[in-house]
Structure 1
Amino acid sequence: MSGETTDHRPRSLAGRVALVAGATRGAGRAIARELGRAGAVVYCTGRSTAGSPSDYGRRETIEGTARLIDEAGGSAHALVVDHLETGAVRELVARIEREEGRLDILVNDIGGEAYVEFGIPLWEYDLAAGMRLFDAGFRTHLQTSHAALGLLIRNPGGLVVEVTDGTRAYNAIHYRETAFLDLTKTAVDRLAFAEGHELKPHGGTALSVSPGWLRSEMMLDGFGVTEETWRTAAEANRGRAGAVPPYEFVISETPAMLARGIAALAADPDRARWNTASTSSFELAVHYGLTDVDGTRPDAWSFIEAMETTPAADLDVGDYR
């Protein structure tokens, strides 16, 4: 799918209603903000509030996301919802139905990455911890879609975006380091594939979208860097195995690139062309003529695959940005 437009402003989403599940931080926060900026009414859900943070122990809050949308000229509703609680999810959808009478865009972004334990084989992995990851990263998506799609199909043109980690092509030949993480992320993509088949008769579209190496708040903090220092720190570690941050972090992207692509996709009258597809923030950026906030367009998955066969010293990251 080649580029078709250089207009960085998504077409108006005025009159559309969106639900972004997992909008407290990272990709979900950025997606909610872009959809709101484009005119959609956005229902943002998360578990962290100013007075009651989630077990992630992070400073970001769902109210903070709503504030960013309001400041960008959008309309937001910040709601505390645990998407593993069936009743809470059903009440969320019932509220959207009461207040708006429709749902046009569903973005399932809850990831569960905070629960990953790397380097542990399946037979040694704590089963409860593994299921916690699977539940947070996949069952939340399944449960939210189960509750919301009946409302979404009432109007043709509905869109479901399942945010995952890794494209279908990449994950088909790469093991994602732990069995629970591997199954979680590939299951999310397969859910989008299944949803696309079931939504098609109703004029709906579903697909999975993966960011590249996402430079989220949690990732920056985890590597001990900032938006001002990450590039220098990563470049200094070229050729140093096990260094933090790893050299591959030079290809990272902000959540904005993914968010801009999803907003453009939601506004595309021909979005059905993406039905059942697996795509990436880079592919969406190419197709819609978008960039990251610094004007570059990082192609993380290609760069990471190139590093599997080519020494870092022989690669020019500029060729992938």
Structure 2
Amino acid sequence: MRSSYVATVYATPLMLPHRDGLVVFTSSSGGVHYAFGPAYGVPKAGTDKMAADMAVDFKDVGITAVSIWMGSLLTDRVRTIIAGNPDKFGHILETAETPELTGHVVWALYMDPRRMDVSGQTLIGAELAVKYGIKDEDGRQPPSYRQLFGVHPHQQQAHVMR
């Protein structure tokens, strides 16, 4: 979380003169349900909250801040693990998504003239892919964790204390 915060501190002066920009944090549903223990889940919840709070600070300067939940990612490391034990891990291929999918989703969100409407929210990457008509490699459409597991992002309250 610290590196994400610091990166945003350094990126903000580049966006302020344009009164436009997009800050995207990547997270996962582990922020709202148990996943791999507190060392995994707590930073995910914190990342979602950081996006929500930054959106409050950025509201009047035209910078959008969001957190995007990615699904299981088919990184080179994960592909190697699956290939090493396909009987145990092969099922991951059915629902996983590539890191490139998130990149395309972020670009589509950046190009969306209504992106400020979602500022402060935690969004699900697979759902954004459907909204923007983006498919993953081989034409796959990864499922949303909302569909798979019935989990969804927490809604932040509108109350602001300064």
TM over 0.5: yes
Distance apart, 1:284 and its partner CA? 1.0
The residue number in structure 1 matching 2:134 is: 290
Q: Which amino acid is the alignment partner of residue 118 of structure 2?
A: W
Aligned length: 150
The residue number in structure 2 matching 1:147 is: 10
Distance apart, 1:303 and its partner CA? 5.5
CA RMSD of the aligned region, Å? Answer: 2.1
* Shift in alpha-carbon separation, 1:223–1:215, aligned structure 2, 3 A: same
The structure whose Rg is larger is 1
Q: Is the 8 A contact 1:261 1:281 kept in 2?
A: yes
3-state SS of 1:187 partner: helix
| Cα separation, 2, equivalents of 1:191 and 1:150 | 18
Contiguous gaps of at least 5 residues in structure 2: 151-162
| Cα separation, 1, equivalents of 2:11 and 2:118 | 20
3-state SS of 1:224 partner: helix
Counterpart of 2:72 (choices 204, 209, 213) is: 213
Which structure's relative contact order is higher, taking Cα pairs within 8 Å and 6+ residues apart? 2
Distance apart, 1:171 and its partner CA? 3.2
Distance apart, 1:217 and its partner CA? 1.1
Distance apart, 1:304 and its partner CA? 4.0
The residue number in structure 1 matching 2:20 is: 157
Q: Which amino acid is the alignment partner of residue 19 of structure 2?
A: P
Task: Tell me which protein shows more helix as a share of its residues.
Answer: 2
The residue number in structure 1 matching 2:35 is: 176
3-state SS of 1:161 partner: strand
| Cα separation, 2, equivalents of 1:246 and 1:283 | 24
The residue number in structure 2 matching 1:275 is: 119
Distance apart, 1:193 and its partner CA? 0.7
Residue correspondence of structure 1 range 1-321 to structure 2 within 5 A: 138-166=1-29, 171-172=31-32, 174-224=33-83, 233=86, 237=87, 243=88, 245=89, 247-302=91-146, 304-305=148-149
3-state SS of 2:138 partner: coil
Q: Which amino acid is the alignment partner of residue 277 of structure 1?
A: Q
3-state SS of 1:145 partner: helix
Q: Which amino acid is the alignment partner of residue 224 of structure 1?
A: A
Q: Percent identity?
A: 25
Q: Which amino acid is the alignment partner of residue 273 of structure 1?
A: D
